Amino acid sequence: MEITVSRKTNFNAAHRLHVNSWSDEKNKSIFGLCNNPNFHGHNYQLIVAVSGEMETESGFLIDLKILKQIIFEEVEEKFDHKNLNMDTDEFKNINPTAENIAIVIWNLLRKRLNTNLKMKVTLYETERNFVEYNGN
Ligand code: NI
């Protein structure tokens, strides 16, 4: 009997999508407004879904206080109100697309969770555009 517990949070961050080995024209044509040289911000919304077999005695899959704290330390403290390209080690060499941000966040959270739990992150870059990653 598998059950899923989720927590939602959000963070504001600036980024610029750019591939150094491409020409300025190519970067602009592929990334459009997200290639703006002076950066721009998004209000990212993150949903972390943890799945597994719950412990019958406590009735808990994971204590949400603990999940909240892990997300705070690994995501909010690292990325909220930051320029992802310039202020974070994680995106020094990784283009901060929604896809890559979801993968980086998944890897940071994965290290903090018990191995018997599965996890999926859903990252909204805008209200209508979102990316899901579950480690596969
Ligand atoms: Ni953007």
pLDDT in tens, 58-113: 999 999 999 999 999 999 999 999 999 999 999 999 999 999 999 999 999 999 99
**Domain count for the chain:** 1
**Structural domain of 112:** 2-133
Indicate the pTM of the whole model: 0.95
How remote is the CA of residue 50 from the centroid of ligand 1, in Å? Answer: 27
Q: How far apart are CA 121 and CA 131, in angstroms?
A: 8
How remote is the CA of residue 42 from the centroid of ligand 1, in Å? Answer: 6
CATH number reported for the structural domain that contains residue 105 in this entry: 3.30.479.10
Rounded alpha-carbon distances, angstroms, from residue 36 to 5, 20, 28, 31: 37, 14, 8, 9
pLDDT in tens, 19-73: 999 999 999 999 999 999 999 999 999 999 999 999 889 999 999 999 999 999 9
Unique residue bearing structure tokens 């390209």: 85
